[in-house]
Structure 1
Amino acid sequence: MRDFSQNIDWLSINTATIRKQHGQEVALNTLLDQCAAAGIRAVSPWRDQVAAIGLQATAAQLRAHGMSLSGYCRGGFYPAADKVGLQAALDDNRRAIDEAKTLNSACLVMVVGALPGALEGKPHYKDIGRARQEVVDGLAASLEYAREVGMPLAIEPLHPMQAADRACINTLEHALDICDALDPEATGALGVALDVYHVWWDPKLAQQIARAGAKRLLAYHVCDWLTPTADLLQDRGMMGEGVIELKKIRQWVEAAGFAGYSEVEIFSQRNWWQRSGDDTLQACKQAHQAVV
């Protein structure tokens, strides 16, 4: 296993981690400057943040700082109430692939979606089997274009608590089953983004990480699971604050062949989003060296 204790060469910051500072939203160009000043050489930005300052401006700033992208957030959200919605999702994912390619991202992270309308409290249907099939069909269509342009797609399985509204793919095993069905030769075009927050609890985790191997493990996200958790979406902990066995999981991931960035992704309305970006980045650096 790589030694992270001496430097932050393999630390990446998902810009969600510092998108709010002192409770206020901060523009992506400022976030990128802060990361560069902290010596961080990789990030993973969100599409809405990029859109707010412009795709070309983002690309130029990344080049100026010499930054890489460990991933781009996010594609997916395929299920829809009707054919018009399904086509709109495919069109949007095509745009996301193009954006990820322009930014030279390592992959496009796919949060696949679930029951359409559930996020707004008004699901159009309750058939999760239908939603899962629409996800597979959508991924198959997106994969065809992603192969053409050379942008790997990384399915991110989400914790079962988000099966209704954000992602109906909830285990690494399920995500890999889809990868095997759509990309049976494991070409590197389709894989997974492994976020410890969503999978740490899975009794099959070690087995499925080994199954994934280097060709399927496209991104690795870290944070911690607090006890008690005050909010299942926006109360993630800094690494070392919670109960996730971070070093054990990274050992499994690296034994399977992953050699990329450990990307810190923390949603923290009550704690880290109330601090300055500099303080949060310093804590990320220290925790990455000590406990990741």
Structure 2
Amino acid sequence: MKSFRTADHRRLAYEDSGGSGPAVLCLAGLTRNSREFSDLAAHLAPRYRVIRLDSRGRGRSEHALDPIAEYTIPVEAGDARALLDHLGLARVAMIGTSRGGILAMALACGAPERVSGIVLNDVGAVVEGQGLLRILSGLGRAPAAASFAEAAAELRAANERAFPDVSLADWERFARRIYDDAEGRPALAYDPELRSAVAAGLDAAGPTVSLWPLFEGLHGVPVLVIRGANSDILLPATVAEMARARPDIETLELAGRGHAPFLDEPEALAAIDGFLARHAG
């Protein structure tokens, strides 16, 4: 894993793999990190240069000194842009899961010439309050599980309605990506102070958050929206309204998935392959 320094001197970590093909920047969900995209990166690496950022306070990146000021969309989108500058990349395709998709939209609004296309994984022009409150209810809490096998069982129990066909073995693989390994015990892989920043943002915006200004500001940037059919963050009505506003966007709904699809599903990989073939580079 490599790292760079931001303008405010935070050390941020990133993975840079694949060949000399077009660059694809992957941005993870709120509490997740570059490991979230491990399978997708392996799939794309033969054809693309795949860059995966640990946003500040996540994974191997340095934590904020002022969480409420630093764990914000403008700051984190600026970090992603700073990584592109650090790597000397003038233009990339972007794949963003949940908050990562919001960061991708924010970056593209500020610098559309830097973005050749965006894949939005289970995030769109409206973020539903019910889903946000569900996420906030567990945000910042250390895992109770004493082992990764226990964590897998807890994840399956908590998500069996939204993800009914995911095996216990796959949940354990997922657990090892979202948690750090503290001598065999799962541990938070993000700064628990992220909770205070998110809670402050929700107090200001209300439980349901409109991102229409970001979506409408993409100025023709190609977009693929992937939605989990059981998602409580991105609703079908929102995707339909986005498609009415931008008839050129591509959409995909994945059965048996909630928030957010893993992006290892065959349908998701096929859609991403086609989108990148048309818009990466």
TM-score normalised to the size of structure 2? 0.37
TM-score (norm 1): 0.36
